[in-house]
Chains A and B, each alone.
Chain A
Amino acid sequence: MKTRSETSLTPARDAAPSEGLLSQPAALDVLFEQRSPAEAEPLEPVLEARAVTVRYGAAVAVSDVSLDVHRNRVTAFIGPSGCGKTTLLRTFNRMNDLVPGAVVSGRVAYHGVDVNGAGVDPIEVRRRIGMVFQRPNPFPKSVFDNVAFGLRLHGLKDDLSGRVEEALRRAALWDEVKDRLGKNALGLSGGQQQRLCIARALAVEPDLLLMDEPASALDPISTTRIEDLLRELRSQVTIVIVTHNMQQAARVADLTAFFSVEPTGGDEHERGGVLIEYGPTEQLFTRPADRRTEDYVTGRFG
């Protein structure tokens, strides 16, 4: 894999679409001029994935993916089930280390440091890169202790209650829980639990937040609240969100990457997740460069 990293900036199968768009700042300016000026700041990569391939035993989940995640942008990963978007997300904070049989190759550089490099502690990586999961997973502890969990792990014990309040406010949950901080978090509604999990992740002040379908288990109103929250958080933290919901990507994401399940080897039966196209969300949805992207975003593809 390492020997290919020079050429891998250009995805193996489709030469034109993905990286090409991002390497042309002119193409992006068009989109960002339509957004508020604050968001027009130049793209600055926080995390760079190069030729990332993930195998579970013999199965290839993610094949040769290269892309950049940019500071203070929301990046959405979309694509059909089994296209490896969640697996790719979990390589960013080394959660795949915990999956028996998962083998990651390629390079994931976070602020220029290879997270899989020798001497890099996965614990340290996960302390810097937060994660929110598909199903709300608050600990069976009080609301306060949930948010304080990461703070206590990191030894951030001064002004604990101030930090907890701040995180809950950032997650737009403070007003709903300020009178029940001592109550068990499992008594909250699903949407509140998920915002609590976001607060829990934000409390330790990550600069990159990974979200794996954070609204897929929630009702529409709770989903809207989470999406509003993502737009607010964008100015403070870089966000990568995996979603099944294309409208959600269109609503919240500045940049969108479309993945698909494609043949990955010489063998027709060997299929895995491949990055098809990556670019500004609006462009990807309105003027996709690849036919497969167009089929997917227009609903012609299962």
Chain B
Amino acid sequence: MARLPLPARRRSWPVRHPGDLAMHGIAGLAAAGTILVLVLLTVQVFRQARPAISRFGAAFVWSTDWNPVTNAFGARDLIWGTAVTSLAAVLAAVPLAVAAALFLTELAPARAAAPIRTLVELLAAIPSVVLGLWGILVLGPVLAQHVEPWLGSTLGFIPLFSGAPSPAGLLPACVILTIMVVPIVAAISREVFLTVPADLKDGAYALGATRWEVVRGVVLPHSAAGLTAAVILGLGRALGEAIAVTQVIGGTAAFHASLFGPADTLASRIASQYQGAVSDIQIASIAFLAAILLVFSLVANVGAGLVVGRLQRRRLGVR
């Protein structure tokens, strides 16, 4: 028997084939580039914010002042505005989006599902500034004239729905953000639901499960990890959205429970004041806001990663 004239292959690295080598190089560079951008961006934001960090310290986070004249700056009201609008938008958007995705994957006939899916995704294609304009011209006035008085008279005992109606404020911002979050969460949820193996659904159907029982017993448990990721991506979108929120929220830092009154968020304050900042310390304070927002987003994403991994492992039965 002739011996093959090839040396035993000892290592899988470096890859010998030119195509593989090129692919490794390009993919590796792209991955490294992404990390580099994130690191440089974080460093830059914190460097810009350093004067404000050293002057105000941690008190910046709970201080309520924002006065360019006296150079007193604080982020509490903006953090409040960000938290309220983002959480309300996610709470409102997730059930809608998940239901829409379930409709598209489990209920709608294929002929209807394709156009509906396209329309839902088109919602994500609307430029946020256009959505914001619609918020100023249509949504805000409608809410102030019809919805907010009604909410106030029926649910006014809840602090969220107390106070005077206003065309600009937290409520229109929540609605706008909901509209922006729905298509993202719906698109990802749909992808997640499509990964549920048909065998599993058949297994449940064959036991006499109804569609709802299949959704509840098989589709949703199987999709828990993916849905969590979808929610976090939606939250990230809501946290970071600046333009449309700036257009409808009223731009007044205020700490109130009412959804009707004007307020402001981290992102919209950065968008509205960076250009017109009058002092170095104001610019540094705005960078400080950016740093807080960045930390929020990173924490949300890392947390989501941990949750997703854990759910995934539980589903596969490895602990």
B142 on the A face (CB < 8 A): no
B20 on the A face (CB < 8 A): no
A150 on the B face (CB < 8 A): yes
Contacting residues, chain A, for B209 (C-beta < 8 A):
123, 153
Contacting residues, chain A, for B315 (C-beta < 8 A):
140
B150 on the A face (CB < 8 A): no
Against B, the Cβ 8 Å flags (1 = close, 0 = not) of A147-166 are: 00110011000000000000
Say whether, besides A139-B218, A141-B221, A149 and B204 are in contact (CB < 8 Å).
yes
Pairwise interchain contact A126-B317, C-beta atoms closer than 8 A: no
Of all chain B residues, the one with the shortest Cβ separation from A128 is B208
In chain A, positions 112-158 with a C-beta closer than 8 Å to chain B are 123-124, 126-128, 130-131, 133, 135, 137-141, 149-150, 153-154
Against A, the Cβ 8 Å flags (1 = close, 0 = not) of B92-103 are: 000000000000
Q: For the complex formed, measure the closest distance between the CB of B53 and the CB atoms of chain A, giving whole angstroms.
A: 47
Pairwise interchain contact B206-A201, C-beta atoms closer than 8 A: yes
B205 on the A face (CB < 8 A): yes
Say whether, besides A137-B199, A139-B217, A140-B221, A95 and B206 are in contact (CB < 8 Å).
yes
Bound-state CA distance A19–B206 (Å) is: 29
Say whether, besides A139-B217, A139-B218, A187-B317, A126 and B208 are in contact (CB < 8 Å).
yes
Contacting B217 at CB < 8 Å: which of A124, A137, A138, A149? A149
Pairwise interchain contact B207-A95, C-beta atoms closer than 8 A: no
Contacting residues, chain A, for B210 (C-beta < 8 A):
123
A67 on the B face (CB < 8 A): no
A87 on the B face (CB < 8 A): no
Bound-state CA distance A131–B205 (Å) is: 10
Contacting A186 at CB < 8 Å: which of B203, B221, B317? B317
Of all chain A residues, the one with the shortest Cβ separation from B319 is A184
Say whether, besides A139-B217, A140-B221, A154 and B206 are in contact (CB < 8 Å).
no
Contacting residues, chain B, for A185 (C-beta < 8 A):
317
Contacting residues, chain B, for A139 (C-beta < 8 A):
200, 203-204, 217-218, 221
How many of A's residues come within 8 Å of B, CB to CB? 31
In chain B, positions 199-236 with a C-beta closer than 8 Å to chain A are 199-200, 202-210, 213, 217-218, 221-222
A200 on the B face (CB < 8 A): yes
Say whether, besides A139-B218, A184-B316, A186-B316, A200 and B207 are in contact (CB < 8 Å).
yes
Bound-state CA distance A185–B314 (Å) is: 11
A168 on the B face (CB < 8 A): no
Contacting residues, chain B, for A100 (C-beta < 8 A):
109-110
Pairwise interchain contact A126-B218, C-beta atoms closer than 8 A: no
A169 on the B face (CB < 8 A): no
B303 on the A face (CB < 8 A): no
Bound-state CA distance A218–B172 (Å) is: 59
Contacting A133 at CB < 8 Å: which of B202, B222, B314? B202
In the complex, which of the residues B217, B221, B222, B317 has the most CB atoms of chain A within 10 Å of its own CB atom? B317
Contacting residues, chain A, for B317 (C-beta < 8 A):
140, 183-187
B25 on the A face (CB < 8 A): no
In chain A, positions 196-246 with a C-beta closer than 8 Å to chain B are 197, 200-201, 204
Bound-state CA distance A187–B204 (Å) is: 20
B197 on the A face (CB < 8 A): yes
Q: For the complex formed, measure the closest distance between the CB of A3 and the CB atoms of chain B, giving whole angstroms.
A: 30
Contacting B222 at CB < 8 Å: which of A127, A140, A201? A140
Of all chain B residues, the one with the shortest Cβ separation from A200 is B207
Say whether, besides A185-B317, A187-B317, A137 and B208 are in contact (CB < 8 Å).
no
Bound-state CA distance A97–B209 (Å) is: 14
Bound-state CA distance A98–B207 (Å) is: 14
A281 on the B face (CB < 8 A): no
Bound-state CA distance A204–B209 (Å) is: 12
Contacting residues, chain B, for A184 (C-beta < 8 A):
314, 316-317
Contacting A204 at CB < 8 Å: which of B199, B200, B202, B208? B208
Q: For the complex formed, measure the closest distance between the CB of A246 and the CB atoms of chain B, giving whole angstroms.
A: 25
Contacting residues, chain A, for B110 (C-beta < 8 A):
100
Contacting residues, chain A, for B200 (C-beta < 8 A):
137, 139-140
Contacting residues, chain B, for A149 (C-beta < 8 A):
204, 207, 217
Pairwise interchain contact A131-B208, C-beta atoms closer than 8 A: no
Against B, the Cβ 8 Å flags (1 = close, 0 = not) of A30-59 are: 000000000000000000000000000000
Of all chain B residues, the one with the shortest Cβ separation from A141 is B221
Bound-state CA distance A149–B46 (Å) is: 53
Against B, the Cβ 8 Å flags (1 = close, 0 = not) of A82-125 are: 00000000000101001010000000000000000000000110
- For the complex with contacts A137-B202, A183-B317, 17 further pairs of A-B residues with Cβ separation under 8 Å are A93-B206, A127-B207, A130-B207, A131-B206, A133-B199, A137-B199, A139-B200, A139-B203, A139-B218, A139-B221, A140-B317, A149-B207, A149-B217, A153-B208, A154-B208, A186-B317, A200-B207
> Footprint of A on B, CB under 8 Å?
109-110, 197, 199-200, 202-210, 213, 217-218, 221-222, 314-317
> Footprint of B on A, CB under 8 Å?
93, 95, 98, 100, 123-124, 126-128, 130-131, 133, 135, 137-141, 149-150, 153-154, 183-187, 197, 200-201, 204
Closest 4 CB pairs of A and B: A184-B317, A127-B208, A131-B206, A137-B199
A-B residue pairs in contact (CB < 8 Å), sample of 20: A100-B110, A123-B208, A126-B207, A128-B208, A130-B207, A131-B202, A137-B199, A137-B203, A138-B203, A139-B217, A140-B222, A149-B217, A150-B208, A153-B209, A153-B217, A154-B208, A186-B316, A186-B317, A187-B317, A197-B203
